Chains A and B, each alone.
Chain A
Amino acid sequence: MDELDLLKKDWNKQQNQDKTLSSKDIYPMLHKKSSSIVKTLFYISIAELILWILVNTIPYLYSEEYRNKLDVIYTNDYLFTIVTVFSYAVILLFIYLLFKSQRSISVTDNARKLMESILRTRKIIKYYVLYNLVVAGLSLLIGFYFAFTKDPKAHEVFASLNDNQLILVYGLITVVTIVFILIIWLFYKLIYGLLLKRLNRNYAELKKLEV
């Protein structure tokens, strides 16, 4: 006899041995909180949205000097206004995509489709973070550029450096940037790695079947 048929025979014999819960036990279960990865993923996404909005606005709210500088720039330069409007539009777009994707996750889909919807949601938030990192990096570069070319003090300091010191400064900036990116990358690897380990493994297994 086939091994699985032997198992099946036994399996069917235990059909009713598990009916242990009464409706009294089941009612309270309906009102407990779910601890599914979809919920966790949703909370992390919201936290990330808020975090990056805060990162972008806190300096504006807390530093008067920064605010004054920005106000001068905004009144003088249309480009910066356009950039700001654009960046808020991007955030709104991400929020829309995230909610749309989150809503499309349905536990009644087949296993593969469910996994794909969750991974798509994860991807949207990944692109959101990536977008913010790129913008942060670009802002830093532009900031440095303006400081060195427009700020007389910084310009003076720079002019007084010899070649070796210059290389050291550039090297330092590069190392700090790499370390910063590495820490962020590790941070994300850790959160999503832990959260989605099982999902990724099972999705890979399903995909393998379809090759």
Chain B
Amino acid sequence: MNKELEHSFVELLEKHQNIIHKVCRLYTNNYDAHNDLFQEITIQLWKAYPKFRGDSKFSTWMYRVGLNTAITLYRKSKRSITTQDFEGVSFKMKAEDYDDTEEQQLKLLYKAVHKLNDIEKALVFLYLEDKDYREISETMGISEVNARVKMNRIKTKLRTILNP
């Protein structure tokens, strides 16, 4: 692979890295695992990059590869066992922006999202990233109707966790 290709890839990745970070925060719960998954997603993106045609947006393409790596390809690293947990730290909340109840609710919500299974997390992630149901269904390989139904179930689930 030539230097030019490498350079353009790194430039794009640097610009859009927050997408990978968000996937990592959703699927890991400590610093080392986060870095490990970030590394694996980067490798997968780089391996697939020569086939990236530019007919879809680089960021759209990253969502797919990132989620596929997190849900399917990634094996949990052995290194991740010894490090401290950063649940709660992972989502830095700016307390001044919320009143107490809202902050409390957010804390609970993030915790609840972390407890969802891998597929549910993927749907929530795409939803939070403002993807429409067509894109969600195309990324996951399920029908649009089913994506909608599942999303509604997840909302109910989260509501029950917040208001037991």
Chain A positions within 8 Å of B, measured between CB atoms, are 2-4, 6-8, 10-23, 26-27, 29-30, 32-38, 40, 106-115, 118, 195, 198-199, 201-202, 205-206, 209-210
Contact = CB atoms under 8 A, between A and B. Distances in A.
A36 B40 contact: yes
Contacts, number: 164
B77 A111 contact: no
A32 B109 CA distance: 36
B113 A29 contact: no
A114 B91 contact: no
Contacts of B159: 3
Nearest to A118: B72
A33 B42 CA distance: 11
Contact of B77 (A35, A106, A199): A35
5 contacts: A10-B106, A11-B128, A30-B10, A107-B68, A113-B141
A26 B10 contact: yes
Given A4-B127, A107-B68, A209 B142 contact: yes
A205 B154 CA distance: 13
- Chain B interface mostly: helix
Contact of A18 (B22, B65, B124, B147): B22
Most B CB contacts (10 A, CB to CB) among A2, A3, A4, A112 go to A3
A118 B149 CA distance: 27
Interface of B: 6, 9-11, 13-14, 17-18, 21-22, 25, 38-40, 42-44, 46-48, 51-52, 61, 64-65, 67-69, 71-75, 77, 91-94, 97, 102, 105-106, 109-110, 113, 117-119, 122, 124, 127-130, 138-143, 146-147, 149-150, 154-155, 158-159, 162
B155 A4 contact: yes
A199 B65 CA distance: 15
A23 B14 contact: yes
Contact of B18 (A16, A26, A110): A16
Nearest to A7: B109
Contacts of A30: 6, 9-10, 42-43, 46
Contact of A23 (B11, B43, B61): B11
Contacts of A40: 75
B68 A210 contact: no
B75 A35 contact: yes
Contacts of A17: 18, 92
Contact of B42 (A11, A29, A37, A206): A29
A32 B51 CA distance: 20
Nearest to B51: A108
Nearest to A211: B146
Contacts of B46: 29-30
B113 A7 contact: yes
A11 to B, nearest CB: 5
Contacts of A118: 72
Nearest to A117: B72
A198 B143 contact: no
B142 A210 contact: yes
Contacts of B139: 110-111
Given A7-B109, A36-B44, A110-B138, 4 more contacts: A29-B42, A35-B75, A38-B73, A118-B72
Nearest to B21: A18
B118 A205 contact: yes
Contacts of B38: 29
B146 to A, nearest CB: 5
